[in-house]
Chains A and B, each alone.
Chain A
Amino acid sequence: ETAVFQTPNYHVTQVGNEVSFNCKQTLGHDTMYWYKQDSKKLLKIMFSYNNKQLIVNETVPRRFSPQSSDKAHLNLRIKSVEPEDSAVYLCASSSWGLQDTQYFGPGTRLLVL
């Protein structure tokens, strides 16, 4: 049963364009995350938000910016995409705490031509 929703599923664009990805969770969680998964399946965290506040901002290029309207939504905008941005972007959510499991969405696959 899906509780973390991501749109779009797939997006193809050209270098220099702007893209936006959406994420919504219906689990009532306080914390949401964006991860980037490369072709070798390595998951790297990009951002963590707790109750609409940015908590973790890993070293990602400044063209990436997260946006949160409420604790159930966390979007990701990429200004001026580059070829190395081609990847799967995964959104996740969890309750507060160190022992809390993360629940992932199905991902948005981005291809930059």
Chain B
Amino acid sequence: QEKVQQSPESLIVPEGAMSSLNCTFSNSASQSIWWYQQHPGKGPEALISIFSNGNKKEGRLTVYLNRASLHVSLHIRDSQPSDSAVYLCAVSANAYKVIFGKGTHLHVLP
């Protein structure tokens, strides 16, 4: 059974700082990995996904995937108060099943 662990549980950063979130997974054969953002009272929204080893950049977001160490990280450059949310790491276990981590609560202080 695929396991997804996220750290830290909670992260507080000042506005303008870099936010770094981590995720480890248990199955190196897992296909795609996503980061979702969830604001209070809303459903999760996909931010960025990665499939191949290496990094992927989209706007202020950068994702690093290292399949050998079963680790993926999300970095948010120039963090804004509007980035305050829960960030969920999700890993595909098979074609119809995605396993989510417990999330990191990000608080960006103005």
Contacts and interface: CB of A to CB of B under 8 A. Distances in A.
A15 interface: no
B32 interface: yes
Interface centre among B99, B100, B103 (most CB of A within 10 A): B100
A31 B45 CA distance: 17
A99 B43 contact: no
A99 B96 contact: no
Interface residues of A, number: 25
Interface in A1-17: 4
Contacts of B49: 99, 101
B108 interface: no
Nearest to A103: B46
Given A40-B102, A43-B88, A99-B49, A106 B97 contact: no
B92 A98 contact: yes
A102 B41 CA distance: 18
Interface of A: 4, 31, 40-45, 48, 50, 55-56, 90, 92, 96-99, 101-107
28 contacts: A41-B86, A41-B88, A41-B103, A42-B100, A42-B102, A43-B88, A43-B100, A44-B100, A45-B97, A45-B99, A48-B96, A48-B97, A55-B96, A90-B44, A92-B43, A96-B95, A97-B95, A98-B31, A98-B92, A98-B94, A99-B31, A99-B49, A99-B92, A101-B46, A101-B49, A102-B46, A102-B90, A104-B44
Given A48-B96, A99-B32, A103-B46, 8 more contacts: A40-B102, A41-B102, A43-B88, A44-B100, A90-B44, A99-B51, A99-B92, A102-B98
Interface of B: 31-32, 34, 38, 41-46, 49, 51, 86, 88, 90, 92, 94-100, 102-103
